[in-house]
């Protein structure tokens, strides 16, 4: 991955937005489709202060990221008060963390009703990816949320920046399998 | 629930805030002092939509987290418009990502003026931790920011949750060396 490339330092760090090409879309798909966890950015209720927390991540059949959240958690209270959130996905490996690709997806969260068809579908997909979540996924104070993408900011490594629409993201993520 | 007792799974995942003890403070210190990078949560300018991005992290001599940011980056424009931010630190290893400790520090960002004493001090500390950042740290469109902690939410793993004040965090972080 981009960790090996050696562009000019000057050009490398300037975050010029590049035209979205097939490689960028594939990278975005991979980052969302393969994510096990990510950082969820929300607005703290009442103060609207930015807040961030780690969440396990799955996807729905249409490629929409899915999280499982306890009503006791700050991020859940936040999403119920204001559904706007951002999900940072793509974990770095060895070497410079900024040389590794990551994507920030701006989303609106939708709570999935218990015992609905969506609940059954997202639950089985999520637990396939995260078997240990079975320990608490059935508690009634936990619920799944679809984080519906509106747009995304893809960084393929220093300066390789792209803006991707929610539509582009979903049409390319729908082949994901779990 | 007894904080010391071996909790039922049911109780374990409920994020009851525990009284802050020395072990929690040490863990918080380690997570901040050893972080190489983290997720920065900010408010997108104009929309106030939550945004998240990956940043390299260092510390100042008083333990305050420090980042190096390009004025071209969304998070920099955001911090200049509204200094409130959150920094999620503590990366998971193998196994369940939620079993690994992490800390969310709510901060106010302070831009460090170029060529000031603070700039010289934070620059040398930051570049000691991140030698590759020398490639771009001297560009005039980059600047260091101190992310001054106001409070922190520590999660030592499922349900082991603590709230730590900014003062507690700084007094315990000041022994960090770089």
In order of B5, B7, B14, B18, B156, the CA distances from B1 in angstroms are 8, 8, 10, 10, 17
Q: Which of A149, A150, A158 is nearest to A6 (CA)?
A: A158
Q: Say yes or no for a CB contact (<8 Å) between B135 and A13.
A: yes
Structural domain contains residue A72? yes
Helices (H) and strands (E) in chain B, counts: 5, 8
Whether B2 shows a pLDDT value over 90: the answer reads no
pLDDT, tens digit, 9 for 90 and up, residues B65-115: 999 999 889 999 999 999 999 999 999 999 999 999 999 999 999 999 999
* B121 C-beta neighbours (distance < 10 Å), count: 15
Band of the pLDDT at B16, cuts 50, 70, 90? Answer: confident
Could you tell me the CATH number of the domain that includes residue B49?
2.30.110.10
* B95 C-beta neighbours (distance < 10 Å), count: 9
**Please, how many CA atoms are within 13 Å of residue B30, restricted to the half-sphere of its CB?**
11
Structural domain contains residue B6? no
pLDDT, tens digit, 9 for 90 and up, residues A77-131: 999 999 999 999 999 999 999 999 999 999 999 999 999 999 999 999 999 999 9
Chain B nearest CA to A100, separation (Å) = 10
- DSSP, res B37: E
Q: In residues, how long is chain B? A: 178
In order of A1, A103, B72, B152, the CA distances from A159 in angstroms are 14, 13, 10, 31
Q: What is the distance between the alpha carbons of residues B153 and B28, in angstroms, rounded to a whole number?
A: 9
- The answer for B 28-47 residues in CB contact with A (under 8 A) is 36-37, 39-44
Whether B177 shows a pLDDT value over 50: the answer reads no
Structural domain contains residue B10? no
In order of A161, B20, B167, the CA distances from A98 in angstroms are 12, 34, 30
pLDDT, tens digit, 9 for 90 and up, residues A12-59: 444 589 999 999 999 999 999 999 999 999 999 999 999 999 999 999
Burial of B103 (0-12, 13-18, 19+ CB in 10 A): buried
Domain residues for B166? 16-90+99-173
The widest CA-to-CA distance across chain B, in whole angstroms, is: 55
Structural domain contains residue A121? yes
Q: What is the distance between the alpha carbons of residues A155 and A12, in angstroms, rounded to a whole number?
A: 12
User: What is the average pLDDT score of chain B?
Assistant: 89
Whether A169 shows a pLDDT value over 70: the answer reads yes
Q: What is the distance between the alpha carbons of residues B124 and B147, in angstroms, rounded to a whole number?
A: 17
Q: Say yes or no for a CB contact (<8 Å) between B36 and A10.
A: no
Q: What is the distance between the alpha carbons of residues B11 and B22, in angstroms, rounded to a whole number?
A: 23
Candidates A37, A85, A153; nearest CB to B74: A153
Candidates A37, A52, A135; nearest CB to B86: A52
Residues B13-40: what's their mean pLDDT?
89
Q: Touching check for B138 and chain A: CB below 8 Å?
A: no
Q: What is the distance between the alpha carbons of residues B31 and A1, in angstroms, rounded to a whole number?
A: 27
Structural domain contains residue B116? yes
Candidates B85, B104, B135; nearest CB to A53: B104
**Whole-number pLDDT of residue A72:** 87
Residue A154 near residue A32 (C-beta atoms within 8 A):
no
Smallest CA–CA distance from A57 into chain B, residue: B97
Q: Say yes or no for a CB contact (<8 Å) between B15 and A72.
A: yes
Structural domain contains residue B24? yes
Structural domain contains residue B123? yes
Structural domain contains residue A2? no
SS3 B30: helix
Residue A69 near residue A76 (C-beta atoms within 8 A):
yes
End-to-end CA distance of chain A: 23
**Please, how many CA atoms are within 13 Å of residue A11, restricted to the half-sphere of its CB?**
6
The tally of domains found in chain B comes to: 1
pLDDT, tens digit, 9 for 90 and up, residues B29-60: 999 999 999 999 999 999 999 999 999 999 99
Tokens linked to A125: 């997909």
Residues A162-167: what's their mean pLDDT?
95
- The answer for A 85-114 residues in CB contact with B (under 8 A) is 85-88, 91-92, 96-98, 102, 104, 106
Residues B146-165: what's their mean pLDDT?
93
């Amino acid at each position: 991955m981009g960790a090996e490339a050696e562009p000019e330092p000057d050009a490398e760090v300037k975050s010029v937005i590049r035209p979205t090409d097939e490689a960028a879309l594939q990278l975005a798909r991979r980052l969302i489709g393969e994510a096990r966890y990510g950082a969820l950015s929300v607005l703290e209720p009442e103060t609207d202060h930015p807040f961030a927390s780690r969440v396990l991540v799955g996807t729905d059949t249409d490629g929409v990221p899915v999280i499982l959240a306890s009503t006791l958690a700050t991020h859940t209270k936040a999403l119920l008060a204001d559904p706007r959130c951002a999900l940072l996905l793509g974990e770095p490996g060895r070497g410079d963390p900024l040389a590794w690709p990551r994507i920030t997806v701006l989303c609106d969260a939708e709570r999935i009703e218990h015992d609905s068809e969506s609940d059954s579908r997202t639950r089985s997909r999520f637990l396939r990816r995260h078997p240990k979540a079975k320990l608490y996924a059935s508690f009634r104070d936990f619920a799944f949320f679809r984080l519906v993408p509106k747009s995304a900011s893809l960084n393929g490594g220093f300066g390789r920046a792209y803006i991707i629409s929610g539509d582009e993201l979903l049409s390319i993520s729908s082949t994901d399998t779990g």
